[in-house]
Amino acid sequence: MATATRSLARAALRAGTRPAALAAPRMAFRQSGRRFYSSEPTKSSTSPWIWISALAVAGGAGGWYYLQNNSASAPAPKVFTPKFEDYQEVYNEIARRLDEKEDYDDGSYGPVLLRLAWHCSGTYDKETGTGGSNGATMRFSPEKDHGANAGLAAARDFLEPVKQKFPWISYSDLWILGGVAAIQEMMGPAIPYRPGRVDKDFTACTPDGRLPDGSKTQDHVRSIFYRMGFNDQEIVALLGGHAVGRCHTDRSGYDGPWTFSPTVLTNDFYNLLLNEKWQWKKWNGPKQYEDKKTQSLMMLPADYSLIQDKKFRPWVELYAKDSDAFFRDFSAVIVKLFELGVPFPEGTENQRWVFKTLNV
Ligand code: HEM
């Protein structure tokens, strides 16, 4: 029954029939967030060069060597160099399967895929250059067992058949592509993408404690994100990711979604944070806020600290009233997050691809 209700709500949202109070501005900015398509270069690209540079990126970093057979008389190994179209196919496969299991959470794997992409990137340390999405070390213990990564097996398992179908893509590139597909298919902004991540073994696992703790507030949040190289504006833009998904008592211990539309990326996280009255939830679980009106939404102490802090708050106010600004800044900061510590070939900074969405 709950599932049926959620499915209906999601169908309504996708059809643009969300509650009147939320509808008009959101649909407008969603359209404007989808300005870029695969055949068009992003603003920063020079069009004649996009395909050439795309080949360079793929060739330089993503070449996959396929040995046809290893007998002495065999022809030379065939080199498969994936191109834009090959990555688009992987994107399509992920996108097609996102909503396959109606009974998973709110009906979409999008949120948990975004969380996986963020958690493998968010281990980056700019001082030592360790961590980040390059390596996909969360496949291994001890990293996969870190408390902050509880529940992410759901996302890794979801992507495993995609890896089997397209064995040439590295896990590290695949997990980030999963995050990109999740954002775009949940009606978020276009997220330009560069391949080139290479898988590493367990020796590259990062120590526990690099990801943020939801029970802590602004000082902790700053120290975690400053370590990665982000500023206050970027931190607030990143936290808008909590517009989608939910907390699970059997994963983090917290409970509930942040917004009423947990499978559609909007700026509701900021609107609700500012405009609802929040109170401590009375329960046996960890300290979290609930909205006074419906008691069905939640905020972590770390989320709530964004409006308690003098420097964070103006950014929350901006993103609450200007969803275009949120989409623009969210896209930019997610690209930065997903690329932290990845040794891309020099000269490819402006050579990213934008995948065409399925969920138009
Ligand atoms: C201060 C920073 C952050 C803290 C303390 C934090 C904490 C958490 C916690 C406790 C959960 C619940 C996990 C569960 O029980 O399933 C969660 C879920 C989630 N987080 Fe964050 N997070 C932070 C930043 C971010 C960022 C930067 C993003 C992405 C841009 C993000 C995206 C998500 C998503 C999409 C989920 C939902 C996952 C699902 O539905 O399965 N978070 N986060």
Q: Ligand 1: does its nearest atom lie under 6 Å from the Cβ of 95?
A: no
What ligand 1 atom has the least distance to the C-alpha of 248?
A: 15
Mutation to probe ligand 1, out of 242, 266, 334 (largest number of atoms < 8 A from CB):
242
Q: Ligand 1: does its nearest atom lie under 6 Å from the Cβ of 256?
A: no
In 180-299, the DSSP E strands lie at 246-247, 256-257, 278-280, 289-291, 298-299
| 27 pLDDT more than 60 | no
Amino acid found at 31: Q
What ligand 1 atom has the least distance to the C-alpha of 221?
A: 1
pLDDT at residue number 71: 53
Q: Closest Cα to atom 34, ligand 1: which residue?
A: 115
Q: Tokens for 115? A: 């969380």
Q: Closest Cα to atom 24, ligand 1: which residue?
A: 239
What ligand 1 atom has the least distance to the C-alpha of 118?
A: 29
Q: Which helix (H) or strand (E) holds 316?
A: helix 313-321
Polymer length in residues for the chain: 360
Centroid of chain to Cα 76: 40
220 is catalytic: no
What ligand 1 atom has the least distance to the C-alpha of 216?
A: 5
119 is catalytic: yes
| 33 pLDDT more than 60 | no
pTM (two decimals): 0.85
Rounded-to-integer distance, Cα 324 and Cα 26, Å: 9
Mean confidence (pLDDT) of the chain: 85
Tell me the pLDDT tens digit for each residue of 81-109. 999 999 999 999 999 999 999 899 999 99
pLDDT at residue number 284: 97
Q: Are 221 and 302 in contact (CB under 8 A)?
A: yes
Tell me the pLDDT tens digit for each residue of 249-306. 999 999 999 999 999 999 999 999 999 999 999 999 999 999 999 999 999 999 999 9
Q: Ligand 1: does its nearest atom lie under 6 Å from the Cβ of 183?
A: no
Q: Closest Cα to atom 2, ligand 1: which residue?
A: 212
Tell me the pLDDT tens digit for each residue of 118-160. 999 999 999 999 999 999 999 999 999 999 999 999 999 999 9
Q: Ligand 1: does its nearest atom lie under 6 Å from the Cβ of 191?
A: no
**Whole-angstrom distance between the N-terminal and C-terminal Cα of the chain?**
28
Q: Is 298 helix (H, G, I), strand (E, B) or coil?
A: strand
Dihedral pair phi/psi, residue 124, rounded to 5°? -65, 140
Q: Sketch out the chain's domains with CATH numbers.
A: 29-339 (1.10.520.10)
Rounded-to-integer distance, Cα 163 and Cα 155, Å: 12
**Catalytic-labelled residue, pool 175, 258, 315, 353:** 258
